[in-house]
Amino acid sequence: MDGEEMMINSTHFSYFILSAYLDSGLLKYLHFLVVMCLYIVIIVSNVLLIVVICVNRSLHEPMYFFLLFVNELFGSAGLFPFLLVQILKDIHTISISLCFLQVYIFFSYINVQICILAAVSYDRYLAICFPLQCHTHMTCRKAAVLIALTWVYRFVEAGVMVSLSAPLQLCGNIIPKVYCDNYSIVKLACSDTTVNNIYGIVYTVIVIIGILSVFLYTYMKILKVCFSGSKETRQKAISTCTPHLASLLNFTIGGSFEIFQSRFNMSSLPSVLRIFLSLYWITCQPLFNPLIYGLNLTKIRDSYRRWGGDSKSRGTSP
C-alpha cells in the first residue's frame, strides 16, 4: 500500500477503544474494590515515606532526597483514577486528548524513574568507594539540582515524543491494552512514522549506553572494593546496595514485560495475564519501592520506631 492509498484509508478519530478490558459482569465491583485498595496502599506508603524523610533531619542526605517518592505518586495518578472509572464503564473508550495526556505522564514517569535509579547507583558508589569524600562529591544541593534537571529534561523529552505522535494519521483506534501507550498509537498510524522511529531509536540508544554504563561502572567499582576490602566494608555494601538492586531488578522485570507485550504477539496468553503484565510495568515501582527501602534502610526503620515510640508516649501521658 503506497502513501496516497494509506492517507485515503485513514480516518479522523475522536477517541480510542481500549480492548483489553474484560466483560466481568458483577465482578467488576470486586475488581474496582481491589484496584482502589491497591491505590490507597500506594498513596499511604509513599506519602508516609516522604513525610518521614522530610521531618527527620538525620535523613536530609542526598541518598534520601533521591528516594522522595513524588514520581511514584505522579505515575500512579496517571493510571489508577482512570483505571477505576474504566472498570465501572461498559464502553471502554478514551478521548484523544486524554490518551495523549496519559502517554505523556507514563513516559515522563518511566524516564524520571530510570534517571533516579542511576543517580542512586552513583550515590551508593560514592558512599562505598569514597566514604570520607562522599558528602563533598554529592551534597544535598547537588542532589536537588540533579533531580530538578532530570524532571525538566524528561518532561521536555516526553513533550517532543507526544508532539511527534499527535499529528499522525490513523487507520484504526483500537488499543489492545487497558491504558494508552505511545507504541500502540504509532502502530495504528497510516502516515509516515520515520521521524517517530528515529526518535525512538535514538532515545533507546541513549538510555542503553548512558544509563546502563552508569549501572555497570558503579557496581563494578563497588564489587572491586568489596573483594579487596574488609568484612565490615562488604556488610556495609550489602546493606546499602540491596534495596537499590531490588528496586532496579523490579523495574527491569516490569520493563521486560512491557517490551515483550508491545513488540511480540502475546495473544496466546490468557487475557488476565496480559492485563497483569501490562499493569505491572506502571505499578511495580510505586507499590514495592516504599516497602523495599522502608524495610531495608536502617535510618528509615529507626525513624519509624521513634515515631511509634513517641506516639505511644503521647498516648500514655496524662
Long-range contacts of 93-99 (CB under 8 A, 24+ apart): 93/15, 93/16, 93/17, 93/18, 94/15, 94/16, 94/18, 94/180, 95/14, 95/15, 96/13, 96/14, 96/15, 96/16, 99/15, 99/16, 99/175, 99/180, 99/185
User: pLDDT for 175-190, tens place per residue?
Assistant: 888 899 888 899 898 8
Over residues 133-145, the mean pLDDT reads: 78
Runs of H (alpha helix) within 12-55:
27-55
pLDDT band at 297 (very low <50, low <70, confident <90, very high): low
Tell me if the pTM is above 0.85. Answer: no
The predicted pLDDT at position 240 comes to 77
The predicted pLDDT at position 102 comes to 93
Which range, of 137-146, 186-195, 301-310, averages the lowest pLDDT? 301-310
- The DSSP line for 251-300 is HHHHHHHHHHHHHS--TTS-HHHHHHHHHHHHHHHHHHHHHHHHHH-HHH
Q: What's the grid cell of residue 219?
A: 557496581
- CA angle, 296 as apex, 291 and 301 as ends, to 5°? 85
Residue 138's φ and ψ, nearest 5 degrees, are -130, 90
The predicted pLDDT at position 296 comes to 58
Q: Looking at this protein, which amino acid is placed at residue 245?
A: L
Distance CA 153, CA 158 (A): 9
pLDDT band at 205 (very low <50, low <70, confident <90, very high): confident
Domains belonging to the chain, first-starting first, are 7-304 (1.20.1070.10)
260 pLDDT above the threshold of 80: no
312 pLDDT above the threshold of 60: no
Over residues 119-125, the mean pLDDT reads: 86
202 pLDDT above the threshold of 50: yes
pLDDT band at 7 (very low <50, low <70, confident <90, very high): very low
Q: What's the grid cell of residue 258?
A: 512491557
The predicted pLDDT at position 5 comes to 43
Residue 30, SS3? helix
317 pLDDT above the threshold of 50: no
Cell 524532571 belongs to: 151
Percent of the chain at pLDDT exceeding 70? 88
129 pLDDT above the threshold of 50: yes
4 pLDDT above the threshold of 50: no
The predicted pLDDT at position 6 comes to 42
The predicted pLDDT at position 115 comes to 87
**Higher pLDDT pick, 78 / 143:** 78
